[in-house]
Amino acid sequence: MFQLSKKSCYGLKAIFELALVYGKNTVTTSLIAEKQNIPIPFLEQILYELRKGGIIESKRGPGGGHKLSRRPEDIKFSDIIETLEGPNFLFECVGTNFDANSCKEYDLCPSRLLMKKLAERIKEIFDSTTLVDLFHIWVEEVRKK
């Protein structure tokens, strides 16, 4: 079963907190950790990767914190996941960096061919979903409850 890693789930929660206050303030690591119930040491690693990937900006010192590096409607779901997991985050054997020689069944594997089609479709959805879209999906879910 396909499932996002804990790192990606926490990363999305952190990004979501930053999207909620976009254009207003920065948000501290400790506030994100508290609101989203994320262990601070793990969150610091995630924020470092998001900063290195150009998704967020950070400022140290008084009044410091984190903010999105661009508008929420310009950040795709795939930007975040690929920053945290790498470009072949779905299925290793369908990625461009996979060594086909490491698998005897690579060319004839029906599972790999199906996973490749699935990965392409998932990537299309991730590439076409922005933080704003994700926010709307979240609002609809909250309204149902």
Cβ atoms of 103 and 93 closer than 8 Å: yes
Side-chain-side CA neighbours of 48 within 13 Å: the count stands at 6
Per domain, the residue ranges of the chain are 6-144
In 3D space, the residue among 123, 94, 117 whose CA is nearest the CA of residue 107 turns out to be 94
1 pLDDT more than 50: no
pLDDT digits (tens, 9 = 90+) for 57-87: 999 888 889 999 999 999 999 999 999 988 7
pLDDT at 49: 97
- Phi and psi based region of residue 25 (left: phi greater than 0; alpha: psi -120 to 50; beta: remaining): beta
pLDDT digits (tens, 9 = 90+) for 12-53: 999 999 999 998 989 999 999 999 999 999 999 999 999 999
Structure tokens at 16: 């979501």
Domain 6-144 grouped into CATH 1.10.10.10: yes
Following DSSP, what letter does each residue of 35-77 receive, concatenated?
Answer: HHT--HHHHHHHHHHHHHTTSEEEE-STT-EEEESS-GGG-BH
Cβ atoms of 15 and 131 closer than 8 Å: yes
Q: Which of 57-61, 96-100, 118-122 has the highest mean pLDDT?
A: 57-61
103 pLDDT more than 80: no
